[in-house]
């Protein structure tokens, strides 16, 4: 049994780390080349946990209060690097974004509370408040939790129009983390599973298992949420890294379809889902792939403006530059 326990723990550790595999992009490598396309700002503000998407150190927000704002919520580890590049695509289309920053090893409930507070503050500086919240992977869990209806929550966003988009989000819990929520394994390991899980994932291990309150009791969305567009990625047989011969040397499978579905979440009247054949990192862009599928979906849903025919060539060059060029 000790050997079996060790095997279980090694699998859990491997998969949990793989699920949050970082990329090599640095925040400072993300110039916003299309800033002149953005609406002229009429508000300058600072809001805790929000920053410009071009630099993690730039927390001064220059916004046009008459225009919608898209809030981007990254996944764990350095996955924010590629997802932040979406801000440049939005800027190309004249749409303003801000990025939410959080400690990805902390409790997801803490991140959600901080996001809810930030959204409330952001809405207070907008004359015509309309916010779109986009969360990838773990960021989708935080984004939705920040928008649930809790009467006792003083950070409820209130009277504001909100669209929620979640991408590749494990609403059903992370299967590889089930070891962390197993009382049997906790007993067999003399209590060692919890400190090991916390060492690997941080305090959030309490929130990511299928039987955790965070996953099993997701709550209902606030009335201010007009819609929840849920992008489910079918990640089977996808590839994250190829060698020079074109052979796949690292797959892009992180979450199964079952892990991305949850009965309460899916039954919400405002929730619609679309399954896309794409890898976990591929969907938001990586060093080999431009996120054409994601951009197309956002445009189809009216969340990202359509690209004028005369600008298609320029957009293609931009995408190749920010996603693929070294």
Would 314 be classed as within a structural domain? yes
Would 89 be classed as within a structural domain? yes
Largest CA distance in the chain: 65
Would 201 be classed as within a structural domain? no
Task: Name the residue range of residue 87's domain.
Answer: 23-172+210-324
Top pLDDT among 304 and 289 is at 304
**240, 250 Cβ separation under 8 angstroms:** yes
pLDDT of 57 strictly over 50: yes
Q: Of 232, 236, 264, which Cα lies nearest the Cα of 252?
A: 236
**208, 25 Cβ separation under 8 angstroms:** no
- pLDDT for position 26: 44
Instruction: With H, G, I as helix, E, B as strand and everything else as coil, classify residue 119.
Output: helix
Would 189 be classed as within a structural domain? no
Per-residue pLDDT tens for 156-180? 666 789 999 999 999 999 887 665 6
Per-residue pLDDT tens for 97-130? 999 999 888 899 999 999 999 999 999 999 987 9
Reported confidence tier of residue 192, pLDDT bands at 50, 70, 90: very low
- The Cα 82–Cα 26 span in angstroms is 9
Would 178 be classed as within a structural domain? no
Per DSSP, helices labelled H in the chain are: 2-19, 80-84, 86-92, 108-124, 138-145, 183-188, 193-201, 213-216, 263-267, 292-300, 312-319
pLDDT of 78 strictly over 80: no
Would 177 be classed as within a structural domain? no
Would 282 be classed as within a structural domain? yes
Average pLDDT, the chain: 82
Burial 23-37 (b: 16+ CB within 10 A, else e): bebebeebebebeee
Would 257 be classed as within a structural domain? yes
- Tell me the CATH number at 248: 3.40.50.1820
- pLDDT for position 202: 59
Rounded alpha-carbon distances, angstroms, from residue 189 to 125, 179, 180, 186, 204: 52, 11, 11, 5, 20
In this prediction the pTM is 0.87
The structure tokens 């060790």 sit at: 6
Number of domains forming the structure of the chain: 1
Q: Of 163, 161, 115, which Cα lies nearest the Cα of 138?
A: 115
């Amino acid at each position: 049994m000790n050997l079996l326990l060790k095997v279980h723990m090694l699998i859990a550790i491997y998969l949990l780390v793989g699920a949050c595999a970082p990329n090599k992009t640095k925040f400072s490598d993300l110039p916003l080349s299309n800033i002149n396309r953005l609406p002229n700002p009429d508000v300058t503000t600072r809001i805790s946990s929000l920053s410009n998407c071009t630099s993690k150190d730039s927390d001064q927000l220059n916004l046009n209060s008459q225009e919608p704002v898209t809030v981007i919520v990254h996944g764990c580890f350095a996955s924010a690097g590629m997802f932040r590049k979406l801000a440049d695509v939005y800027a190309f289309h004249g749409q303003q974004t801000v990025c939410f920053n959080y400690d990805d090893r902390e409790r997801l409930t803490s991140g959600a509370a901080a996001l809810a507070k930030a959204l409330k503050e952001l809405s207070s500086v907008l004359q015509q408040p309309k916010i779109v919240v986009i969360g990838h992977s773990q960021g989708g869990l935080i984004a939705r939790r920040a928008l649930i209806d809790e009467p006792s929550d003083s950070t409820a966003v209130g009277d504001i129009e909100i669209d929620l988009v979640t991408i590749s989000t494990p609403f059903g819990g992370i299967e590889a983390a089930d070891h962390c929520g197993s009382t049997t394994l906790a007993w067999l390991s003399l209590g060692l599973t919890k400190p090991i899980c916390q060492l690997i994932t941080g305090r959030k291990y309490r929130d990511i298992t299928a039987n955790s309150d965070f996953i099993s009791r997701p709550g209902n969305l606030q009335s201010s949420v007009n819609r929840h567009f849920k992008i489910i990625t079918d990640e089977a047989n996808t590839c994250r890294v190829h060698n020079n011969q074109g052979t796949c040397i690292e797959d892009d499978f992180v979450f199964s379809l079952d892990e991305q579905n949850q009965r309460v979440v899916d039954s919400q009247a405002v929730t619609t889902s679309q399954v896309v054949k794409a890898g976990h990192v591929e969907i938001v862009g990586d060093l080999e792939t431009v996120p054409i599928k994601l951009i197309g979906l956002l445009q189809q849903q009216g969340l990202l403006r359509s690209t004028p025919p005369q600008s298609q060539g320029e957009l293609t060059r931009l995408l190749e530059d920010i996603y693929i060029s070294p």
